[in-house]
Amino acid sequence: MTPGVRPLVAGNWKMNGLSASLGEIEAMRLAADAGEAGEAELLVCPPATLLAQAAWNIRGGKLSLGAQDCHPQPSGAFTGDISAAMLKDAGATYVIVGHSERRTLHHETDELVRAKAEAALKAGLVAIVCVGESHAERQAGEQAAVVIRQLRRSLPAGGNSETVVIAYEPVWAIGTGLTPTPGDVTVIHNFIRALLVEVGGPHAAKTRILYGGSVKPSNCGDLLTLDNVDGALVGGASLKAAEFLAIAAAYR
Ligand code: 13P
């Protein structure tokens, strides 16, 4: 945790969730409104198809709503794509960019991720910029170099601690049940913090840096209270409100 920084516990539903899952979002809203997330801000990022209905259902409450990706252009002939302005219009206030699944499966480069993050800022969304090394890179001891390189190239111009959130997600920890040790997480988060301050100045001492990759109720207490860990980006364990809230309880 960083003194004076409100932690963010974010759920990334990935390609999961039909309208029947809106009840889970409703349960998250009730819990957020009841203060069950403690001092943390609670954010859910369902698939784009659920955004507008979810936004309507949680209006006026304390649960935040985000999307999982956006196109770098504001509009145009891009069949099947969704712009940041459209996400904002549907009720999102955050958008994840550069998730490793998109970097890998959709061949997204750092330059594209930066363009998406800048589009998000332009539309008035907070960009959650994801970085993280692969298993092979970790084996080679290159994790810090990889993360720093990705971050330097993916950070949007003109961002600040209110408009940009960083998520460190080691690719090998996503959906595997494996996590880095608290010491390993601290090393990378400290590197990220130093880079943010180098690039953005002292104000970047307050930029939230999330950890992601197999976060669960059983390990959140160890990981989420480390220095320079200002929350979590949670995949599988965010699909059910009860499990997600048990993670946010690390900040109660
Ligand atoms: P898991 O929590 O399922 O490992 O996923 C992490 C993730 O990719 C969140 O963006």
Query: What tens digit of pLDDT does each residue of 152-168 get?
Result: 999 999 999 999 999 99
Q: Which of 71, 99, 118, 137 is catalytic?
A: 99
pLDDT at 121: 98
The tens digit of pLDDT for each residue in 17-73 reads 999 999 999 999 999 999 999 999 999 999 999 999 999 999 999 999 999 999 999
Place of tokens 């690390």: 250
- How far apart are alpha carbons 250 and 243 in whole angstroms? 12
Is any ligand 1 atom within 6 A of the Cβ of residue 174? yes
Atom index in ligand 1 nearest the CA of residue 214 equals 4
Ligand 1, pocket-test mutation among 95, 133, 214, most atoms within 8 A of CB = 214
pLDDT band at 243 (very low <50, low <70, confident <90, very high): very high
Is any ligand 1 atom within 6 A of the Cβ of residue 233? yes
The tens digit of pLDDT for each residue in 111-149 reads 999 999 999 999 999 999 999 999 999 999 999 999 999
Query: Rounded mean pLDDT of 161-180?
Result: 98
Q: Whose CA is nearest to atom 5 of ligand 1?
A: 235
Dmax over CA atoms of the chain, in Å, equals: 48
The tens digit of pLDDT for each residue in 207-223 reads 999 999 999 999 999 99
Domains and CATH numbers, the chain: 8-71+80-224 (3.20.20.70)
Q: How many A from CA of 130 to the centre of ligand 1?
A: 11
Is any ligand 1 atom within 6 A of the Cβ of residue 11? no
pLDDT band at 99 (very low <50, low <70, confident <90, very high): very high
- How far apart are alpha carbons 11 and 76 in whole angstroms? 30
Query: Rounded mean pLDDT of 98-119?
Result: 98
Active site residue 99: yes
pLDDT at 6: 97
Q: How far apart are the first and last CA of the chain?
A: 13
Is any ligand 1 atom within 6 A of the Cβ of residue 177? no
Q: Where are the beta strands (DSSP E) in 117-181?
A: 126-131, 164-168
pTM here is 0.98
pLDDT at 37: 93
Active site residue 39: no
Residues 6+ apart with CB under 8 A from 166: 128, 129, 130, 131, 151, 192, 196, 207, 208, 209, 210
Q: How many A from CA of 45 to the centre of ligand 1?
A: 12
Residues 6+ apart with CB under 8 A from 86: none
pLDDT at 145: 98
pLDDT at 186: 98
The tens digit of pLDDT for each residue in 219-234 reads 999 999 999 999 999 9
